Amino acid sequence: GRFGKWLEGARDWAISRSRYWGAPLPVWRCQNPACNELKVVGSVKEIVELSLRVTNRSEAISNSNVEIASVATLPRNDTTMDLHRPYIDQVKFKCNKCDGEMQRVPEVFDCWFESGAMPYASEYLFSDYELSAKTTREELRSHIAFPADFIAEGIDQTRGWFYTLLVLGVALYDESPFKNVVVNGIILAENGQKMSKRLKNYPDPQKVIDQYGADAMRFYLLSSGAVRGESLNFSEKGVDEVYKKVVLLTLNVLKFWQTYSDKISNFQFLISKLQGRSILDRWIIWCLASAINEVTDSLEKYEIDRACRTIVWLIDDLVSTWYVRRSRDRFKNEGQDKESAIMTLQFVLQELSKLLAPIAPFLAEYLYRESGGKKESVHLENWGQGKWVQEITESDDYKLDKQMEQVRQICEIGHRLRDETQVKVRQSLRRCQILKSKYQINAEGQILNGIIELIVDELNVKEVGIVETLPSGEGWISKDGVALYTIIDQELKAEGLVRELTRQINNLRKKQGLTIQDKVTVEYQTVEDALKQMIIKSKQELAKAVLASDFVEEENVEGAEIKVDGLLIIINLLKN
């Protein structure tokens, strides 16, 4: 690759610079021209020992900060010991070979040499271990993180830091000091030009962070090709998209869970008790385990963008678009199934917070705490790939996932059929039929409990049949192995009106800022007999669906004028 090509053509590297500022070369030379002996000093300790043999001790003390007599006993982080010029140049000592005076050569290091010395230099600062030129590879490995699991920098460091680290590592210990390199590409302006202060062709990062949060920005960058060394045309729209798809969706799901979870205090989620619970719970746990495996694998291979994509898939496609959407009614009912749904979603949110922790740390922390995390912080948790993940992965539930995939496909086609005939989902239809040879939702010999009901609910049909040949003829439309019967009889029509009215009243509730704790009385006025009869007939069902204690017909109602299937009705909601 790129690095290999650079190495092939690498030339000699002059590591010294004739400058004043910089790390001084630790090389002393005998000033006797006939001798010219060189001494390379390998540690601070050695400098101190040598400097005790100083030729003119009093001069050295008076002209520098190097307090030669006491320096050996001082802790090394005491600023008294300054290894830079001019002080280091005061350290002179007698030559071993002749009587001449050893003096440091004037050069300093190329600053890239120091970047290459990072592993040893930073460990010198942060550990108690005293490195020296005599440190063996084994000693090094037992004291510092050498070689490092990974380093991360921009692609422009191919000839810079990546190279200098390698040169020093190989020269000193015959080994690369890093196992992996995460190379980020160049971030360009949205039109592909170089970002330029003069052209101001990029948004102010602080403003982007203020608007969308640091996590959205971070997630956006980590999910882009920039983490694979590709250049990225930075787009604020991209950050906005991440904000909506990751941050907002997660918060919406959390809020949904919080709305219904307050009455259940004793959460205990046991994977071993999954059998017999709703097919949706078992399915989402299977998906969660798959997602955890996928994210773990991605991160272990340093494919951060793949990890991000998996997380988006989990939040958006699996949890929000299907699990929560199809479980809404379960949360509203009472009983064991509701508890199972609440506990399952809590478990999903907790595990999701762990997956998010390295990528969106603030969102992860909020999610963890708000969904009942037990520790002080999600960042103190273990990584989520626990034993249960393996158990689920090895279980039979992959069949469930296969069936669910087909169900979702069938529903998608069903929705498209509805779109084509412009029959809204709110309007119930009589029948849906599925071609047996195309969809093996019963291929394992049985159709799982609850699978058909999912199609019934999602497509809002009265019955679903699996047939050898799809029906045709009046009222039937079909596509890709799915057929819908579109003729709407009187009963269906009435139901459609109920649903439509429900939706409109719930919109009014939302506009008035009512929560699920608020009950209302619905006052209404209409001249339409169809609506009047429908309300009287379906009063109970309506009341439950819009959290009303009663529906009362009044005259001169002052409220919102709404149309239900073209029929006018005036509605006023009175908070009880």
List of residues contacting Zn ion (CB under 5 A): 30, 32, 35, 37, 95, 97-98, 100
Of 95 and 441, the one with the shorter C-beta distance to Zn ion is: 95
Question: What is the closest distance, in whole angstroms, from the C-beta atom of residue 15 to Zn ion in the complex?
Answer: 24
Question: What is the closest distance, in whole angstroms, from the C-beta atom of residue 37 to Zn ion in the complex?
Answer: 4
Question: What is the closest distance, in whole angstroms, from the C-beta atom of residue 39 to Zn ion in the complex?
Answer: 9
Of 97 and 273, the one with the shorter C-beta distance to Zn ion is: 97
Question: What is the closest distance, in whole angstroms, from the C-beta atom of residue 41 to Zn ion in the complex?
Answer: 16
Residue 113: how many other CB atoms lie within 10 Å: 19
Residue 273 to residues 268, 281, 375, 403: CA-CA distances in angstroms? 10, 11, 24, 21
Question: What is the closest distance, in whole angstroms, from the C-beta atom of residue 36 to Zn ion in the complex?
Answer: 7
Of 96 and 533, the one with the shorter C-beta distance to Zn ion is: 96
Which strands make up the sheet holding 429-435, listed edge to edge? 461-467, 429-435, 482-485, 476-479
Of 100 and 119, the one with the shorter C-beta distance to Zn ion is: 100
**DSSP state letters, 310-358:** HHHIIIIIIIIIIIIHHHHHHHHS-SHHHHHHHHHHHHHHHHHHHHHTT
Question: What is the closest distance, in whole angstroms, from the C-beta atom of residue 27 to Zn ion in the complex?
Answer: 14
Of 9 and 33, the one with the shorter C-beta distance to Zn ion is: 33
Nearest to 417 by CA among 473, 464, 459: 459
Taking every pair of Cα atoms in the chain, the longest distance, rounded to a whole number of angstroms, is: 120
Of 100 and 373, the one with the shorter C-beta distance to Zn ion is: 100
Question: Is residue 165 a contact partner of residue 118, using CB atoms and an 8 Å limit?
Answer: yes
Task: State how far the Cα of 529 lies from the Cα of 567, in Å rounded to an integer.
Answer: 10
Of 35 and 167, the one with the shorter C-beta distance to Zn ion is: 35
Question: What is the closest distance, in whole angstroms, from the C-beta atom of residue 56 to Zn ion in the complex?
Answer: 17
Of 38 and 74, the one with the shorter C-beta distance to Zn ion is: 38
For residue 396, with 0-12 CB atoms within 10 Å meaning exposed, 13-18 middle and 19 or more buried, which class applies?
Answer: exposed
**DSSP state letters, 222-287:** HTSGGGGT--EE--HHHHHHHIIIIIIHHHHHHHHHHHHHTT-------GGG-TTS-HHHHHHHHH
Question: Is residue 333 a contact partner of residue 351, using CB atoms and an 8 Å limit?
Answer: no
Task: State how far the Cα of 30 lies from the Cα of 11, in Å rounded to an integer.
Answer: 31
The DSSP secondary-structure symbol of 447 reads P
H/E element, 544: helix 539-545
Question: What is the closest distance, in whole angstroms, from the C-beta atom of residue 138 to Zn ion in the complex?
Answer: 36
**CA 508 to the chain's CA centroid:** 36
- Locate 87 and state its tokens: 């002080």
Question: What is the closest distance, in whole angstroms, from the C-beta atom of residue 38 to Zn ion in the complex?
Answer: 10
Query: Which stretches of 76-127 are DSSP H helices?
Result: 111-116, 118-126
Nearest to 483 by CA among 441, 533, 430: 430
Query: Which stretches of 68-188 are DSSP H helices?
Result: 111-116, 118-126, 137-143, 161-173
Question: Is residue 466 a contact partner of residue 442, using CB atoms and an 8 Å limit?
Answer: yes
Of 93 and 322, the one with the shorter C-beta distance to Zn ion is: 93
Question: Is residue 459 a contact partner of residue 415, using CB atoms and an 8 Å limit?
Answer: yes
Question: What is the closest distance, in whole angstroms, from the C-beta atom of residue 43 to Zn ion in the complex?
Answer: 22
Question: What is the closest distance, in whole angstroms, from the C-beta atom of residue 105 to Zn ion in the complex?
Answer: 14
Which pairing describes strands 567-575 and 560-564: parallel, antiparallel, or unpaired? antiparallel
Task: State how far the Cα of 477 lies from the Cα of 470, in Å rounded to an integer.
Answer: 10
Task: State how far the Cα of 177 lies from the Cα of 149, in Å rounded to an integer.
Answer: 9
Question: What is the closest distance, in whole angstroms, from the C-beta atom of residue 96 to Zn ion in the complex?
Answer: 7
Of 35 and 543, the one with the shorter C-beta distance to Zn ion is: 35
Question: What is the closest distance, in whole angstroms, from the C-beta atom of residue 98 to Zn ion in the complex?
Answer: 4
